[in-house]
Amino acid sequence: MVEKVIEGFDSFEAFYKSYYSRLAAFASLFLNKDEVHDIVQDVFLNYLEAEVDCQSLNAYLYKSVRNKCVDFLRHQAVENQYSSELGQILLRKESEYFYASHNEIETALLAKELQEKINKVVEELPPKGKQIFKLFFFQHKTAKEISSLLDLSLSTVENHIYNNVKVVRNKLSPYLFFFLLYYISIQLDKIV
């Protein structure tokens, strides 16, 4: 078997050493120490065997570990006919995962990745558009305040906002679903 080339790593061994302990720690949030090693090994093997085209290797690996853990817990729950304590643990772990604020590691990774993508797209905007976009969305200034601050007409500021939102939305459209999930989790945290 020809060794798969993994971008940013000299060898599979370097890739493995870089990710193993972090993935094992993440898997231990779901499983006992005994099952963690097998789950993480399976994720590495699946990655090597599969033709994976992902935007973020980091997010792919964490999501794969999470899915394998949930699958493992589901399998255990089926074996115990949902009446055992493990079935209850599965339901609790799944509900904790789907409520984003309980999954701090994944929420932090997603937030960081989304913020990096937003910053990159915003930095590509023309200078005046970038300035107006940052004032409006990052500093929460109104269009009227920006108009006064930059000595521009209100309609010019509104046009910049409208056009820049279109550009940003088009460039970030593959990530809109994640933005929505992230926004909802932030709103839920404010309520709770």
Q: Return the structure tokens found at 131.
A: 């300035």
Confidence (pTM)? 0.42
Distance CA 157, CA 148 (A): 10
**Would you place residue 7 in the very low, low, confident or very high pLDDT band (cuts 50, 70, 90)?**
low
Residue ranges of domains in the chain: 12-98, 108-191
CATH number for the domain formed by residue range(s) 108-191: 1.10.10.10
Identify the residue with better confidence: 149 or 95.
Answer: 149
Distance CA 31, CA 131 (A): 48
Q: Return the structure tokens found at 159.
A: 């046009």
**Would you place residue 2 in the very low, low, confident or very high pLDDT band (cuts 50, 70, 90)?**
very low
**Which of 80, 91, 76, 2 has the alpha carbon at shortest distance from 32?**
76
Distance CA 132, CA 111 (A): 23
pLDDT in tens, 164-176: 888 877 787 766 6
Is 12 in contact with 3 (CB distance < 8 Å)?
yes
Distance CA 183, CA 122 (A): 18
* Topology classification of domain 12-98: Rna Polymerase Sigma Factor; Chain: A (1.10.1740)
Is 62 in contact with 113 (CB distance < 8 Å)?
no
pLDDT for 1 equals 43
Helices (H), 50-174: 57-79, 85-98, 104-123, 127-133, 143-150, 154-172
Distance CA 111, CA 85 (A): 34
Other CB atoms within 10 Å distance of the CB of residue 176: 10
Distance CA 122, CA 119 (A): 5
